[in-house]
Every structure is written in structure tokens, then in C-alpha cells.
Amino acid sequence: MVLHLPYVTARLEMAPPPKDDGRHLGPVPIPSAKMTAYYIGLGTLAAVEAIEWPIAAALAAGSYVAQRTRATATAHR
């Protein structure tokens, strides 16, 4: 598709949709109710500026990584 405008010409190309070869990315883990409440609490604290948002993001990321590492370690036993 080519779009001609004064002083600008845009050319848009779309790739064909991917073929379904049976591969998937895998299951998406859903956090527990306790962790969901924790993440909501961090978000609320950041929203009301009780803590800075980068600190809330770092705490959430650290908790997520620790939880996933713990789950992976127990799954391999």
C-alpha cells in the first residue's frame, strides 16, 4: 500500500501471517492471590507517591525473579 501526501510518501508493507507449525511459547504463569495483592500494593504506593516508581518496579521485579527461581528449583527436585 502506498500513501501519497503532499511532501510525504509512505509505503506500508505487511508480512504474511505466520504459519501454525504447532510450536507455542508455553504457559503463562498467573501469580497467586497473595502475590497479586503484593503487586497491587506496590502499585498503589507508587501511585500515591509513598515510594518512588523505580523502587516499586525494582521490588516487583526482584519478587518475581525470586518466586520464579524458587518454583524452578522445586520443580527440578
E strand map for 1-77: 2-5, 8-11
- Dihedral angle over CA of 13, 19, 24, 29, nearest 10: 40
Residue pLDDT, tens place only, 19-70: 766 665 567 677 888 999 999 999 999 999 999 999 999 999 999 999 888 7
Q: How confident is the model at residue 72 (pLDDT cuts 50, 70, 90)?
A: confident
Query: Quick one: how many helices (H) and strands (E) in the chain?
Result: 2, 2
Element (H, E) at 64: helix 53-75
The pLDDT value given to residue 15: 81
Cα 4 from Cα 12, distance rounded (Å)? 11
